[in-house]
Structure 1
């Protein structure tokens, strides 16, 4: 499947329907479920994985299943409030969890948001991040009505830079000291800033 199908739509000014599903590019995107053991396990595995921690320092340190569940419960509350849309990325054919893509910091007045993504180690190499980001971005523009999506990654994260460019997020500049250093909250590193506008051309799916 190459098009995007939404099972329900977001209502401006409100939270999102927890049953919301996006289908396209061989993927199915759904919201994370904090009561699902499979979701909790995938969330935990991602947040303790060395490559993830090399490029990200989460606000909440996650080291066990209970911490992962509490993190997902906090995400679910933000979904209900309409502040973010964190999607669990799954294989459309068999439902295997592949990674995550999220539209965060949703500002309905400025009509902007910030996107982020990660892929589990066993799913890397199949352009999962590219395909899921294309789906999430189109949903954010068409269904949520956003005008601008921003994307930032640590300087030196070339894979993330390539994903941004493939998905129509051109490089806009370098933000000095805008992200924590890996594993620290008392030191900072520079960030490559990318963005895409709703009026920008739609990139071709891989």
Structure 2
């Protein structure tokens, strides 16, 4: 399987988007990362293990992700507009298992970029990259129950609903309470979904 630790990593561009590695030394990247994590829409559905609350914690979060990328256990990509280079959000592969050829997918989109199919287009790009260039076999995507928009994105991108995981995610801003999640997955042997309209 090709290594995922070559920096900077750029997945194929397409669907009006381009994916780039986040740069912890870029003030613009750190600011975008912080804005994404402070967004109420993000916070409603995601409670990171380590909170990102200011520029210092955002920079440290990106440094950790860069190290994990160098170790080949994750891949964190900044979603940008292909023409303008404007940052639109994030998509990443986590917990990459080389023996199982498995990874977990997560993504978020900045508020001003929502409603334009960015998450769907980014997931199509990232999944195609993971299942071909990176040689992975299975991608898993979990989202909190009730997050219907994320469910629709997963299904549009060929991630089949496999069931409900009980108590699999933190509740909003609460690391002591858990909520259920839907589990979706896509295999390298599944058909390639049609691009988003």
Q: Is 1:21 paired with 2:49?
A: no
Per-residue deviation at 1:143?
A: 1.0
Which residue of structure 1 lines up, in the alignment, with residue 117 of structure 2?
127
Runs of 4+ in 1 over 6 A off after TM superposition: none
CA distance in 1, matches of 2:36, 2:161: 26
Which residue of structure 2 lines up, in the alignment, with residue 105 of structure 1?
95
* Aligned length, in residue pairs: 195
Which residue of structure 2 lines up, in the alignment, with residue 203 of structure 1?
193
Q: How does 1:54-65 map to 2 (within 5 A)?
A: 54-65=44-55
Q: Is 1:171 paired with 2:164?
A: no
Unaligned runs of 5+ in 1: 1-10
| Corresponding residue SS for 1:63 | coil
Match of 1:89 among 76, 79, 87: 79
Which residue of structure 1 lines up, in the alignment, with residue 139 of structure 2?
149
CA distance in 1, matches of 2:150, 2:128: 19
Which residue of structure 1 lines up, in the alignment, with residue 23 of structure 2?
33
Contact kept in structure 1, 2:74 and 2:92, CA below 8 Å = yes
CA distance in 1, matches of 2:141, 2:10: 22
Q: CA RMSD in A?
A: 0.9
Per-residue deviation at 1:182?
A: 0.6
CA distance in 1, matches of 2:39, 2:164: 26
Q: Is 1:48 paired with 2:35?
A: no
Per-residue deviation at 1:15?
A: 4.4
CA distance in 1, matches of 2:40, 2:78: 20
Please report the TM-score for the alignment, with normalisation by the length of structure 1. 0.93
Per-residue deviation at 1:40?
A: 0.4
Unaligned runs of 5+ in 2: none
CA distance in 2, matches of 1:20, 1:110: 22
| Corresponding residue SS for 1:189 | strand
CA distance in 2, matches of 1:54, 1:154: 10
Per-residue deviation at 1:39?
A: 0.4
